[in-house]
């Protein structure tokens, strides 16, 4: 291995370790300015020690314009949804301290990380490609994770969805654009789609699952558009290959859409994981159930969902009483010795269980138990 290749790998691995340490260091993570200064200096050191190609695609300016359009289109669609779901006041108020402590560090992190991405991707080997991808995901985690409370399960799951999984899709796009068209399109797109959180005083009241869905699907759509626009001249795609790509993309989008709709519980069907054995052996701990939120009638024997003290309970209706025209539903877990306290009405019932998938929710249970220790 050449000395410059070895030097590149050492620089990459050291940077990965630093970012991992940053994520576990609360003091460093909340002080983005320190992280941004480190990355700027590190980018300078890497550029001085690594000789990379200076070639830029002839389409760089054109793709930069496309990325600007895509960025503002993303924001426009996001805020237009707010006309339907409503808005709430943004977490940050734009001012000097927000500019100095949040916006400036984020801009520096984005610019320096894209410079590093370009240098790392100059080595065409698979190891560098993998390390660069990991590096990009870690940078996104550093930028976003201070928004969430990672000490709680809800905060952890939101960060994993909104930041981690979305970052996987975004970094596929960033790596492709960087290699083919340079770093300028990435820098502008990332700045526009990140700092709006600190500038615009209102935010659409969009469910986290839908924001996660948009952050995963949108970069994939951009990647497909750019690929179809600029790679057709360089590749001969048969009709069979085109159909396969279209079908695969459609299947991926459909799966992500359906899963998002289910776990959001905002549509006709919802999805929830069973957290106890109170319904054993019909439903076991770790099973996932699909439930109907738009039910018409409730009868004895049906397994229903209702909330008690912010906890969702899945139990069976054991009897129904009509008191002055009000239907009262009494429930009990099949594995419990006594029925549930009190009764439920139609207003309390969330949905009716239609389908179960055995054990698929066990990872969620394990993570929940880990956070509750």
Long-range CB pairs of 296-302, under 8 A, 24+ apart, other chains included = 298/327, 298/329, 298/346, 298/349, 298/352, 302/352, 302/353
Q: How many domains does the chain have?
A: 2
Measured CA to CA, the distance from residue 154 to residue 368 in angstroms comes to: 9
Measured CA to CA, the distance from residue 27 to residue 196 in angstroms comes to: 25
Does a structural domain hold residue 189? yes
Does a structural domain hold residue 219? no
Instruction: Check residue 1 and give its pLDDT.
Output: 46
Q: Using only the alpha carbons of the chain, give its radius of gyration.
A: 25
pLDDT tens string, the chain, 373 residues long: the values are 466 677 777 888 888 888 888 877 766 556 788 888 999 999 988 888 776 655 556 788 889 999 999 999 999 888 888 777 778 887 777 788 888 888 899 999 999 999 999 988 887 777 778 888 888 888 888 887 665 555 555 556 566 666 777 888 899 899 999 988 989 999 999 999 999 888 888 888 776 667 777 888 889 888 888 887 877 555 544 444 556 555 656 666 666 656 555 555 566 677 788 888 899 888 888 888 888 888 878 889 999 999 887 788 999 999 999 888 888 999 999 999 899 988 998 888 888 988 888 877 776 666 566 555 5
Boundary-marking domain end, from 186, 208, 230: 208
- Pairing mode of beta strands 288-292, 303-308: unpaired
Q: Are residues 21 and 170 in the same domain?
A: yes
Q: Are residues 68 and 161 in the same domain?
A: yes
Would you tell me the crossing angle of helices 126-144 and 3-24 to the nearest 10 degrees?
Answer: 20
Does a structural domain hold residue 138? yes
Domain CATH number, residue 351: 2.10.109.10
Does a structural domain hold residue 20? yes
Which is nearest to 70 in space by CA: 210, 179, 251, 226? 226
Does a structural domain hold residue 74? yes
Instruction: Check residue 244 and give its pLDDT.
Output: 57
Q: Are residues 73 and 185 in the same domain?
A: yes
Instruction: Check residue 213 and give its pLDDT.
Output: 75
Q: Are residues 114 and 31 in the same domain?
A: yes
Measured CA to CA, the distance from residue 11 to residue 132 in angstroms comes to: 11
* DSSP code at position 101: I
Domain that holds residue 172: 3-208
Q: Are residues 193 and 289 in the same domain?
A: no
Q: Where are the alpha helices (DSSP H) in the chain?
A: 3-24, 26-30, 32-49, 60-85, 96-98, 104-121, 126-144, 153-159, 166-181, 184-199, 208-230, 239-264, 362-372
Q: What is the CB neighbour count within 10 angstroms for residue 225?
A: 12
Which helix (H) or strand (E) element contains residue 176?
A: helix 166-181
Boundary-marking domain end, from 164, 181, 208: 208
Q: Are residues 281 and 196 in the same domain?
A: no
Two structure tokens written together for 105: 């560090």
Two structure tokens written together for 242: 């085109």
Boundary-marking domain end, from 173, 191, 208: 208
Which are the contacts of 125, defined by CB distance < 8 A and separation ≥ 6?
5
Q: Are residues 172 and 59 in the same domain?
A: yes
Q: What are phi and psi of 150, to 5 degrees?
A: -75, -5
Q: Are residues 278 and 202 in the same domain?
A: no
Does a structural domain hold residue 194? yes
Two structure tokens written together for 96: 């000097």
Q: Are residues 310 and 184 in the same domain?
A: no
Two structure tokens written together for 266: 């905002």
Does a structural domain hold residue 241? no
Q: Is the pTM of this model over 0.85?
A: no
Measured CA to CA, the distance from residue 193 to residue 267 in angstroms comes to: 28
Two structure tokens written together for 76: 């426009």
Q: Are residues 153 and 28 in the same domain?
A: yes
Instruction: Check residue 266 and give its pLDDT.
Output: 60
Instruction: Check residue 325 and give its pLDDT.
Output: 83
User: Is the distance from CB of 259 to CB of 216 less than 8 angstroms?
Assistant: no
Q: Are residues 302 and 174 in the same domain?
A: no
Distance of CA 182 to the CA centre of its chain: 26
Instruction: Check residue 372 and give its pLDDT.
Output: 57
Q: Are residues 200 and 289 in the same domain?
A: no
Does a structural domain hold residue 262? no
């Amino acid at each position: 291995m050449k000395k410059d290749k070895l030097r590149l790998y050492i620089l990459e691995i050291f940077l990965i370790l630093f970012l991992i340490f940053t994520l576990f260091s609360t003091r460093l993570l909340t002080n983005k300015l320190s992280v941004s200064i480190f990355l700027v200096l590190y980018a300078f050191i890497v550029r001085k020690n690594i000789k990379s190609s200076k070639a830029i695609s002839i389409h760089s300016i054109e793709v930069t314009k496309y990325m600007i359009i895509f960025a503002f289109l993303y924001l426009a669609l996001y805020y237009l949804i707010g006309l339907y779901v409503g808005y709430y006041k943004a977490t940050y108020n734009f001012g000097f301290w927000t500019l100095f402590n949040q916006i400036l560090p984020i801009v520096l992190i984005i610019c320096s990380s894209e410079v590093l991405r370009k240098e790392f991707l100059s080595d065409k080997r698979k190891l560098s490609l993998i390390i660069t991808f990991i590096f990009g995901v870690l940078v996104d985690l550093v930028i976003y994770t201070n928004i969430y409370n990672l000490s709680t399960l809800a905060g952890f799951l939101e960060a994993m969805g909104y930041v981690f999984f979305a970052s996987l899709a975004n970094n596929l796009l960033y790596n492709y654009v960087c290699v083919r068209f340079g770093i300028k399109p990435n820098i502008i797109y990332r700045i526009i789609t990140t700092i709006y959180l600190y500038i615009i005083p209102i935010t659409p009241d969009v469910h986290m699952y839908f924001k996660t869905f948009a952050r995963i699907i949108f970069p994939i759509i951009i990647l497909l558009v750019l690929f179809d626009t600029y790679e057709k001249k360089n590749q001969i795609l048969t009709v069979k290959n085109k159909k396969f790509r279209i079908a695969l993309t459609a299947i991926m989008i459909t799966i992500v859409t359906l899963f998002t709709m289910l776990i959001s519980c905002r549509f006709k069907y919802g999805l929830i994981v069973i957290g106890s054995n109170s319904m054993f052996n019909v439903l076991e701990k770790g099973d996932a159930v699909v439930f109907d939120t738009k039910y018409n009638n409730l009868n004895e024997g049906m397994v229903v969902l209702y909330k008690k003290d912010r906890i969702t309970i899945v139990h069976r209706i054991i009897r129904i009483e009509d008191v002055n025209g009000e239907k009262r539903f009494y429930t009990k877990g099949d594995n419990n010795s006594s029925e549930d306290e009190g009764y439920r009405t139609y207003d309390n019932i969330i949905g009716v269980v239609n389908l179960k998938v055995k054990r698929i929710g066990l990872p969620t249970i394990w993570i929940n138990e880990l956070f509750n220790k």
